[in-house]
């Protein structure tokens, strides 16, 4: 049986490839694929991602084109993890 951390890493990698395989380059996420990927995070990302917010996120993550590669995607994950941690630290059980 693998450790929980190993399982999380496997999920992060397979999630990237699940969405990157939908359009164009299978090793990069398009804006459309990022929009669909956000549905995996309904409690931490606004349910309906607006175009301006998505454009800003893509610009912040993407340094070289209109696509997010795996390395840029790995920058996104700690940001969401931090939001999640902050959310749970503010929950009544943690006070």
Task: Name the β-bridge partners of 29.
Answer: 68
Length of the chain: 95
Number of H helices, E strands in the chain: 4, 2
Q: Which domains does the chain have, with CATH numbers?
A: 17-82 (1.10.238.10)
Q: Supply the pLDDT for residue 47.
A: 42
Q: Supply the pLDDT for residue 48.
A: 46
How big, in percent rounded to 5, are the helix, strand and coil portions of the chain? Answer: 65, 5, 30
Give me 41's structure tokens: 């995070």
pLDDT at 33 over 70: yes
The mean per-residue pLDDT over the stretch 55-70 comes to 72
Task: Name the β-bridge partners of 68.
Answer: 29
The model's pLDDT over 66-92, given as tens digits with 9 standing for 90+, comes to 788 899 889 878 877 887 787 778 766
* Average pLDDT taken over every residue of the chain: 78
C-alpha span between 34 and 32 (Å, rounded): 5
If pLDDT is split at 50, 70 and 90, which confidence band does 25 have? confident
pLDDT: which is higher, 10 or 39: 10
pTM value is 0.71
Q: Supply the pLDDT for residue 52.
A: 66
Q: 58, 66 in Cβ contact below 8 A?
A: yes
């Amino acid at each position: 049986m693998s450790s929980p951390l190993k399982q999380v890493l496997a999920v992060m990698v397979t999630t990237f490839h699940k969405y990157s395989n939908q359009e164009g380059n299978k090793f990069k996420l398009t804006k459309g694929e990022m929009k669909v990927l956000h549905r995996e995070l309904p409690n931490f990302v606004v349910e309906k991602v607006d175009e301006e917010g998505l454009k800003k996120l893509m610009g912040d993550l993407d340094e070289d084109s209109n696509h997010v590669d795996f390395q840029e995607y790995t920058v996104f994950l700690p940001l969401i993890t931090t939001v999640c941690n902050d959310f749970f630290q503010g929950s009544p059980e943690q006070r």
